[in-house]
Amino acid sequence: MSTPSTDANPDADLDADYAGAGFGAPLGFGHRPALLIIDFAVAYLDPASPLYAGVETTLASCRRVLDAARAADVFRVFTAVVFHGNGEDGGVWYTKIPSLSVFDFGSPFASIAPELSPRPDELVVSKQYASAFFGTSLASTLTAKGVDTVILTGLTTSGCIRATGVDSMQHGFRTVIVEDAVGDRDERPHRANLFDLGAKYADVVSEQTVVAYFESLSRD
């Protein structure tokens, strides 16, 4: 039996293996997109928070994507985790991650980052679980708006982005994840989940690709 070269690029091997098995076909953009800004809360930006994740670069990218969506009049939805009654509506998830208490109603950590403050004409969906679709009216809202493409930004890649991305696909939407505008507390789960999402559930594209897409819509 031959021994693989130690100089081989394991990432290239992984890409080739998945491509050879038929994963990762591109979905492409549709005609009626919506931008989702998932859970970009102060909790991930304030070092005093147990969930601080050092995602300032991600925040800057998310803001640029949001600005482009606003300029193109793309439908925009923010999500925010909010728990009531000492987390009783958070169920087992709240028990599994005690630091989710930073999202208790009235906590300053639960606020959406001021750099991304929603405008009066932008929808804010409150949720208690990882997916923005679970237990909310989001799917019905997007369907009523005629949306065919859901573009995801926000936090965290391995948590609420992943859960929302899978559910978005399962609700029949072309799903696009903006690689530069999603983040996590560690690069390892971030990269692993982007790879898996891109292989099975969504297109993972650059900020520049999405901004150019929005700009093309504004010219139509």
Q: Considering Cα of 196, then 201, then 203, then 204, what sign does the dihedral take?
A: negative
160 is catalytic: yes
Could you give the angle at the alpha carbon of 78 between the alpha carbons of 138 and 67, nearest 5°?
130
Q: Which of 160, 166, 178, 205 is catalytic?
A: 160
Rounded Cα gap, residues 87 and 84, in angstroms: 6
Kind and range of the H or E element at 186? none
Largest CA distance in the chain: 65
Of the candidates 49, 69, 55, which has an alpha carbon nearest to the alpha carbon of residue 155? Answer: 55
Burial label for 15, CB within 10 Å (0-12, 13-18, 19+), is middle
Active site residues: 160
